[in-house]
């Protein structure tokens, strides 16, 4: 019984603390991952970044389509699942156990995929404005619109496309 409570405590801490950094783990449906990739207007071989990469589904789908991908994940359990899932694509995919708020986007980032809770999107907008490279940045926000960002290009099935 002690082991059960110990394991439960670890799971609550591991999955619970990320809520204070953006959003809890919620799996993205493969259909919506494919639709998000269809919406991108960046060339194959470009670098896509998944902020809060969870189980790595988006990273694998991006690699299969010929993109390079970097995923940031705070939850060590989800990071491990993602790392294992992406191992086959390690020449194109990197899964980083880091808080994306504390590191700049890689210089050659062309697109960002993100699922964040509503209150964190204003802060994300500020980060993206500051870090968008000279070639611009395409952003897909899953589930929530970015407040104050008026030049939204398209919305489809809870996917909101923006250009920076």
Classify the C-alpha dihedral 134-136-141-145 as positive or negative: positive
pLDDT in the model for residue 3: 63
pLDDT in the model for residue 94: 97
Backbone angles phi, psi at 61, to 5 degrees: -60, -40
Are residues 15 and 7 in contact, defined by beta-carbon separation less than 8 angstroms?
no
Are residues 125 and 151 in contact, defined by beta-carbon separation less than 8 angstroms?
no
Other Cβ atoms less than 10 A from the Cβ of 79: the count is 21
pLDDT in the model for residue 120: 85
d(C-alpha 65, C-alpha 32), whole Å: 15
pLDDT in the model for residue 18: 55
pLDDT in the model for residue 152: 63
Tell me the pTM.
Answer: 0.84
d(C-alpha 149, C-alpha 5), whole Å: 44
pLDDT in the model for residue 22: 55
**CATH numbers and ranges of domains, the chain:** 2-163 (3.40.50.150)
The whole-number mean pLDDT for each consecutive block of 10 residues of the chain, a chain of 164 residues, reads: 60 53 69 94 95 95 98 92 96 96 94 87 91 87 84 79 92
Are residues 53 and 75 in contact, defined by beta-carbon separation less than 8 angstroms?
no
């Amino acid at each position: 019984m002690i082991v059960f409570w110990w394991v439960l405590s670890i799971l609550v801490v591991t999955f619970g603390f990320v809520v204070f950094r953006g959003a809890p783990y919620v799996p993205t449906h493969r259909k919506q991952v494919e639709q998000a990739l269809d919406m991108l207007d960046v060339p194959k071989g470009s670098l896509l970044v998944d902020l809060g990469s969870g189980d790595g589904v988006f990273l694998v789908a991006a690699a299969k389509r010929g993109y390079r991908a970097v995923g940031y994940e705070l939850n060590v359990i989800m990071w491990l699942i993602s790392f294992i899932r992406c191992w086959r694509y390690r020449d194109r995919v990197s899964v980083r156990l880091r808080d994306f708020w504390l590191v700049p986007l890689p210089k050659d980032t062309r697109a960002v995929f993100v699922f964040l809770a509503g209150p964190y999107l204003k802060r994300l907008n500020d980060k993206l404005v500051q870090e968008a490279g000279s070639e611009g940045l395409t952003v897909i926000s899953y589930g929530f619109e970015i407040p104050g960002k008026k030049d939204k290009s398209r919305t489809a099935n809870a996917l909101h496309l923006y250009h920076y």
